[in-house]
Chain A
Amino acid sequence: MKKIIVNPELCTGCETCALICSNYNLGGFNPHRACLTIEHFQQGIFNSLGFCQQCENAVCSKVCPTNALKIDQEKGYVTLDKDKCIACGNCVEQCPFDMITIDPDTNKAFKCQLCDGETYCVQYCPYGALEVHTK
């Protein structure tokens, strides 16, 4: 499985990762709407980024009643079939990392799927703070 990891020493808090994420996934810019999270501490001396961990034993996939969430070993991440999602919220409730939300516009689950392998947040980070880690 693959996941995105961060070197917090290199993160400047510019939120370019979250901007490109929302643009790729939702067609517009707003860092609050990304499927990654950013918290600023001590006025920005330290930023903490949260990414979907693409768990080997993903609890979101276990609690999904419609099989919309699946562990895809070949692709290397937990996939989401939006057509199957009924927005029950089980995955949101059970994710130990709070990395799934229900998108207010689509009313479907919303999670990181590594931009179908493109990982634009990694590509666009101006400081090389992000990388794809393969387990």
Chain B
Amino acid sequence: MKWKSYMGKMLIIDLSNKSYEIKDTPLDLIENYIGGKGFGVKLYQKYINKDTDPLSPENVLFFLTGPLTGTIAPAFRSCVVTRSPLTGTWLDSYFGGHFGQEIKYAGYDAVIIKGKSETLTYITIENDNIEFHEADELKHKMISKTTEILKDDHGDDFRVACIGPAGENLVKYALVSCEPMRQAGRGGAGAVMGSKNLKALAIKGNNLVKTADNVEFLKAVNKAYKELNNSPSIETFNKVGTPSSIPFAQNVGMLPTENYKYGQFDNSEQLESKEQSNAFWQRDIACSGCPIACGKIGEIYSGKFKGTISDTIEYETLGLIGSNLGISDINYITKIANLCDELGLDTISTGGSIGFAIEAAKNSNLSFLNNSDLEFGNAETVIELVKNIAARKNKLGDLLAEGVKRAAEYIPESNKYSVHVKGLETPAWPPRGAPGMGLALMTADRGGCHQRAFPVSYETGSEKWQGEYLERLSTDKKAEVVIYQQNKLAALDTLIKCDFATYGISEETYRLLLNTATGMNIPKGYWQKLGAKIWNETRRINLKHGFDRRDDYLPTRFVEEPLPDGPAQGHRITQSDMDKMLDEYYKLRGWNKEGIPQKK
């Protein structure tokens, strides 16, 4: 292999005839698209057609790594790319932990899965020894049990990616768990795996990931460590993790509450880090090679859910399962999150779907919604609903398993409170008091997502944009901030960076890590160009699938209902706000008024 730190091979598995082939990773793919999301956009267009049904054997699951995955460079991850059954868009979903690293150690840059097995199957990959196994005994097993059984059968040093009952039952937002508590969470990659009758992949390998210039590479690693050590944000992630965003979101009025109706939650203090720290945190836990250790793990010490093992309940889960459902008891939230993890459900979409159902119960006369227990704050009912969604049990569970967009199509006049963009339930950053965040959700390539751009800190005055503070409620300059962030993050997702690490590690250090590891000579200023190229590609993919400008708008709640509380009280993002931002955004991207990229 010309470029170091790549393994130079891709494993292509066809479940329909239980066969596989090992191909060289194309040099032009590496040189033009680096890895991760970059590999994804090219391979997606090669393997997936505009009409490919996401749950058909023709859809393809790509498990992708980046050049730094599996090295000591802090903190690099892996991703799953496929066509989303929830949205019908392109889907890239990222995961930490150790599973992706093991793909490299087994000798591959990518594992590509096509076709469909007739019966439930799992695959073991040990270097170039690939075996298909009947998975009868794993049927409907929870995530941790599935992982445990496979490790017992094949060895503790195998790393396991699997689906839970939700994936087997084709819940549209089922996740792929990559070792317990690390998930490719969003967009329903677990349902794609379920549609292929693939319960799990277990992988291990003894190959070495070698760098081009080990001395210079370790210098770049040390530079990255220093930058992480000097960052107050990283210190916060290490000490208290993402729950630290709760008081911030509450103060700025961006904490989703009761199906996004409100931006502040009366009991927000009960969602803060201290509560879960007291309830179960025992120790720090980190992904492969990561010095940040944002995870806190332990068992609930006492009470009804004593013994439940959990990693940090992240901000997104606190927002969507907590405040958005009116639940403030951290033990219940932890239990519900644990249940989602074990059943294999995305907590964001699950919270969004249940919040929608509770509001629908108040506003609809449909008989299956006629349930007095369906109200905000009723955690026991939420537990039952989560189980019913994963099992597609009864009318309500089956409908909510389709996600908010499809459920709203079934319930008359519910679009007033159905909250999603392109079919992806939005995250815990409702944008009525931050139009740039609105634009980020509108234009995210996989639907309503906060991880493609997150301009909130610029909008709320904690950071300056090009030397000046931006007006929070204005739309001015928001398009350029969103584009800058989208390009940067997409480019760094070719390396598959950890989002949190970008708060410390500089763009220059990412460049040094890549160059010293691979032997490439990526110039300064490359990230924006690479990112823009990738955004053009994902846009073209979505256009081919039938998405256009009309899909780039926010849900009615954020457009027509003024925010009832918080510092941005009375504000909403109007139709003309959205049009103005979209026009500007398309223009800056070199797209026409319909959002079609103009330059090849």
Q: Is the CB of B290 within 8 A of A43?
A: no
Do B210 and A28 touch across chains, with their CB atoms under 8 A apart? yes
Contact of B548 with A by CB under 8 A: no
Whole-angstrom distance between the alpha carbons of A40 and B208 in the complex? 22
A22 surroundings in chain B (CB, below 8 A): 208
Q: Which of B268-319 contact A (CB under 8 A)?
A: 282-291, 293, 295, 297-299, 309
Taking a contact as CB atoms under 8 Å apart, the answer to whether B285 and A13 are in contact is yes
A32 in contact with B157 (CB, 8 Å): yes
List 22 A–B pairs whose Cβ atoms lie within 8 Å, in order of A's numbering: A12-B286, A14-B287, A14-B288, A14-B291, A15-B98, A15-B289, A16-B72, A16-B290, A19-B71, A27-B208, A28-B208, A28-B211, A29-B209, A29-B210, A30-B105, A32-B206, A43-B181, A44-B181, A44-B285, A126-B290, A127-B284, A127-B291
Interface residue ranges of A33-83 to B (CB < 8 Å)? 33, 39-40, 42-46
- Taking the closest CB of chain A, its distance from the CB of B83, in whole angstroms, is 31
9 more CB-based (< 8 A) A-B contacts, given A28-B208, A43-B309: A12-B293, A14-B286, A14-B290, A14-B291, A23-B214, A28-B211, A29-B71, A32-B105, A39-B156
Contact B297 A16 (CB under 8 A): no
Q: Is the CB of A16 within 8 A of B289?
A: yes
Chain A residues whose CB sits within 8 angstroms of the CB of B284 once the complex forms: 12, 127
A33 adjacent to B206 (CB under 8 Å):
yes
The residues in B between 113 and 168 inclusive whose CB is less than 8 angstroms from any CB of A are 144, 156-157
Given the complex, which residues of A lie within 8 Å of B432, measured CB to CB?
none
Chain B contact residue count (CB 8 A cutoff): 36
Cβ-defined contact, B283 with A12, below 8 A: yes
Question: B299 contacts which chain A residues (CB < 8 A)?
Answer: 42, 45
Residues of chain A within 8 A (CB-CB) of B309 are 42-43, 45
Closest B residue to A125 by beta carbon equals: B291
Residues of B within 8 A of A42 (CB): 299, 309
A116 interfacial by beta-carbon distance below 8 Å: no
Q: Which of A33, A45, A46, A126 contacts B208 (CB under 8 A)?
A: A33
Q: How far is the CB of B183 from chain A (nearest CB, A)?
A: 13
Chain B residue nearest to A38 in the complex (CB)? B157
B32 interface residue, CB < 8 Å from A? no
Complex: A65 Cα to B298 Cα, angstroms: 48
- Interface residue B207 (Cβ < 8 Å from any Cβ of A): yes
Are B286 and A45 neighbours in the complex by a CB distance under 8 Å? no
Pairwise interchain contact B206-A28, C-beta atoms closer than 8 A: no
B70 within 8 A of A: yes
Residue B589 is within 8 A (CB to CB) of chain A in the complex: no
Q: Which B residues lie within 8 Å of A46 (CB)? A: 283
CB distance from A127 to the nearest CB of B (A): 7
Task: Determine if A118 is an interface residue (Cβ-Cβ < 8 Å).
Answer: no
Q: Report the Cα distance A14→B403, complex, angstroms.
A: 35
Are B207 and A30 closer than 8 Å at their CB atoms? Answer: yes
B-chain residues with CB within 8 Å of residue A15 when the two chains form the complex: 98, 288-289
In the complex, A15→B298 CA distance in Å? 19
Q: Is B180 an interface residue (CB 8 A)?
A: yes
Contact B72 A29 (CB under 8 A): yes
Whether B572 sits at the interface, judged by CB under 8 Å, is: no
Q: Assess the B209–A30 pair: CB atoms within 8 A.
A: yes
User: B283–A29 contact, CB under 8 A?
Assistant: no
Within 8 A of B (CB), among A103-119: 104
Is A30's CB under 8 angstroms from B208's CB?
Answer: yes
The reply to whether the CB of B199 lies closer than 8 angstroms to some CB of chain A is no
Which B residues touch A19, using CB under 8 A? 71-72, 288-289
A43 to B296, CA, bound (A): 12
- Is A26 engaged at the interface, CB distance under 8 Å to the other chain? yes
B204 at the interface (CB under 8 A from A): yes
- A39-B156, A42-B309 given; A26·B287 CB < 8 A: no
Task: Report the separation of the CA atoms of residues A30 and B282 in the bound assembly, to the nearest whole angstrom.
Answer: 28
Q: Which residue of B lies closest to A42 (CB)?
A: B309
Q: Which chain A residue shows the least CB distance to B105?
A: A30
Q: Is the Cβ of A13 less than 8 Å from the Cβ of B72?
A: no
Contact between chains at A13 and B210 (CB < 8 Å): no
Residues facing A in B460-518 (CB within 8 A) are none
> Once the chains are docked, how many angstroms separate the CA of A23 from the CA of B214?
9
* A20 CB–B CB distance under 8 Å: yes
Q: Given the known inter-chain contacts A43-B181, A45-B297, A127-B284, please indicate yes or no for A30 contacting B206, CB distance below 8 A.
A: yes
Give chain A residues whose Cβ lies under 8 Å from the Cβ of B157: 32
CA distance A73 to B211 in the complex (A): 35
Interface contact A23-B72, CB-CB below 8 Å: yes
Q: Which residues of chain A are near B207, meaning CB under 8 Å?
A: 28, 30
Complex alpha-carbon distance, A96 and B181, angstroms: 34
Known: A13-B286, A23-B72. A28 touches B209 (CB 8 A): yes
Query: Is there contact, CB below 8 Å, between A16 and B291?
Result: yes
Enumerate the 10 nearest inter-chain pairs by beta-carbon distance, A residue then B residue, closest first.
A28-B208, A126-B291, A14-B286, A12-B286, A28-B210, A29-B209, A19-B72, A12-B293, A12-B284, A30-B105
Partner of A43, one of B204, B293, B297: B297
B289 contacts which chain A residues (CB < 8 A)? 14-16, 19
Bound complex: CA of A20 vs CA of B209, how far in Å? 12
**Chain B residues closer than 8 Å to A104, beta-carbon distance:** 206
Whether A43 contacts B180 by the Cβ 8 Å rule is yes
Q: Known contacts being A20-B72, A23-B72, is A44 close to B206, with CB within 8 Å?
A: no
Residues of A within 8 A of B283 (CB): 9, 12, 45-46
- A15, A29, A43, A44 — most chain B CB neighbours (10 Å): A29
Inter-chain CA distance A14–B297, complex, in Å, is 13
- The answer to whether A32 and B286 have CB atoms under 8 Å apart is no
A55 to B142, CA, bound (A): 44
Cα A6 to Cα B298 in complex, Å, equals 20
Q: Is there an interface contact between A43 and B286, defined as CB atoms closer than 8 Å?
A: no
- Contact across chains for B298 and A45 when beta carbons are under 8 A apart: yes
Nearest chain A CB to B373 CB, angstrom units: 32
Which residues of chain B come closer than 8 Å to A124, judged between CB atoms?
Answer: 72
Complex CA gap A45/B308 in Å reads 12
Instruction: Chain B residues near A27: list those with CB within 8 A.
Output: 208, 210, 214
B72, B180, B284: most-surrounded residue (chain A CB, <10 A): B72
Contacting residues, chain B, for A12 (C-beta < 8 A):
283-286, 290, 293, 295
A29 to B577 alpha-carbon distance, docked (Å): 50
Q: Whole-angstrom distance between the alpha carbons of A28 and B283 in the complex?
A: 30
- Which chain B positions have C-beta within 8 A of A9? 283
* A13–B289 CA distance with the chains assembled, in angstroms: 9
What's the minimum C-beta distance from A96 to chain B, rounded to whole angstroms? 20
Contact in complex: B214, A29 (CB < 8 Å): no
